[in-house]
Amino acid sequence: MHVHRPLRLRSQEPVRSRGLYIRIDEENWIKIGIEAENDEIGRLGSVCTNLGYSDWATIDIPASINSMYYRVSSKGDDLLVECSYDGNDWTQMRICHMHAHEDHYLVGLYACSPKEEAGGAVYTFDRISIEKSIWKNE
């Protein structure tokens, strides 16, 4: 599996979190995205959940960043997660092992807001593609 997608967000409402969600089942999944911390700082991060236990890896980014490309590639039970500001130069975010690996993954996009009335906000996800993995055996 190779998932590649940019996310650009346009919204007049506060958005807490947005990104990519890959799921095997309710106890085995990974979430990649940007989470708003305050008006100055955001967090670019990933959560890997295996057998119901999660770990969260983040780095600080300027809150003004509202567009990010993500690329997730698989090799056996392992996932390589990368990000890019422009879709050309990629930075590794993490490699994780999925203990409950199946032959397929459920892939989706998410955007969350702390306000009930944020349902009128416009969230733009430019594209998503799922292709053969580009992560090669070494």
Q: What pLDDT, in 10s, does the model give residues 24-33?
A: 999 999 999 9
136 occurs within a structural domain: no
Residue 82 makes CB contacts below 8 A (sequence gap 6+) with 70, 71, 72, 73, 90, 91, 92, 93
Sheet holding 17-25, edge to edge: 53-62, 41-50, 28-36, 17-25, 106-112
138 occurs within a structural domain: no
Below-50 pLDDT ranges, the chain: 9-12
- Structure confidence at residue 134 (pLDDT): 81
Number of C-beta neighbours around residue 97 at 10 A: 11
22 occurs within a structural domain: yes
**Structural Rg of the chain based on CA atoms:** 15
Q: What is the DSSP string of 54-72?
A: EEEEEEEEETT--EEEEEE
- Would residue 92 be called left, alpha or beta, if left means φ above 0 and alpha means ψ between -120 and 50 degrees? beta
CATH number of the domain within which 110 lies: 2.60.120.200
Whole domain around residue 103: which residue ranges?
2-126
Indicate the number of domains in the chain. 1
Residue 63 burial by Cβ neighbours in a 10 Å radius (0-12, 13-18, 19+): middle
135 occurs within a structural domain: no
pTM strictly above 0.85 = no
7 occurs within a structural domain: yes
Q: Please name the amino acid found at residue 115.
A: K
SS (H, E, C) 34-52: EEECCCCEEEEEEEEEECC
- Structure confidence at residue 66 (pLDDT): 78
